[in-house]
Structure 1
Amino acid sequence: MARLALAAAVLLAASASPALADPTGLRVTALAGLERTDGAPGAGASDGFYYGGQLGFDWQLGPVIAGVEGDLGGSSANRIIGTRRADQGVFASAAVRLAVPVTSRLRGFVRGGYAYHEVTYDTGRAFHGSGWTVGGGGEVDVTQRLFLRAEYRFSDYGRTLRGQQFLGGVGLRL
């Protein structure tokens, strides 16, 4: 909770300066944070470190910024289920997003779309789940092209797999 409060304070302090960038166009972001996957919802979750990358494009639509983004990542999480070990494998999503300016350098956003997740077992088998994801967060401009991002996501990959991610990122507008 202290880290979240510190991140919010940094975002607000950085947003007090004049605007530096046009937040539209192509962007690439490195993401990292906490990932929590529940393989049998309600039976307990496995936590891990999420790492990944994202590619997106934004358009200005009046006062709103609309965009699309796709990301690909992985996690260090694993869990023992009976005698099998399950490793959280690939995560991927394709989402649309809507952002609104909070200040001249800070934007709040919501996102939603398709989600995919693969869990691999030490037996060589794998579970491939697909479903939906929703979330939201904020971005703050640091320089003309550099920005910081913080977000929360909830994903449902089918009947037996759900996940949450608390992510931070560093992005570059190209």
Structure 2
Amino acid sequence: MTDRSSLRDQPPAPSGGEALLFLTDEQLRKGIEAMFFAYRGFTADPDRILAELDYGRAHHRALHFINRMPGTTVSNLLAILGVTKQSLNRVLRALIAEGLVESRIGRTDRRERHLHLTPAGATLERRLSQAQRARMRAAYRAAGPDAVAGFRQVLEAMMDDEIRHQYHALRDPRG
């Protein structure tokens, strides 16, 4: 039989969000490992497609953000991807040479290069992201709306302020 007087002397167990303030190192380690393995699964299908084309994840990220922001400038893409100019130029040269991306001279500033996916680039981007959308959709449905909202909050809280600002600045080009 439990001694009820000893239970009264203990602080109440944290509930709801309070419990999250007392995460152990082991719980944090499990979260870190879950992110590593989830990312591995999230990138597996596109990685197979990219490997067939001798492309890497940098090509996929470039295609994704050019698709999200048609006409984005090279300098904007550099800021979003957080890569060196040399690295992005290598990726863009390959995508342009393969007819997946088109670089257009700026109308107001001829030094600017505005990036657009070609029809072939849009097709490849859809192919790469289709499996990721299916994986996210299945995970979101399995977890439920509260978990989805919480997951997004956790991801945003992990972003540095500048990166969070870039994330929030993305607009859906379809309205």
Q: Which has the higher helix share?
A: 2
Relative to the length of structure 2, the TM-score reads 0.22
Relative to the length of structure 1, the TM-score reads 0.22
Q: Which has the higher strand share?
A: 1
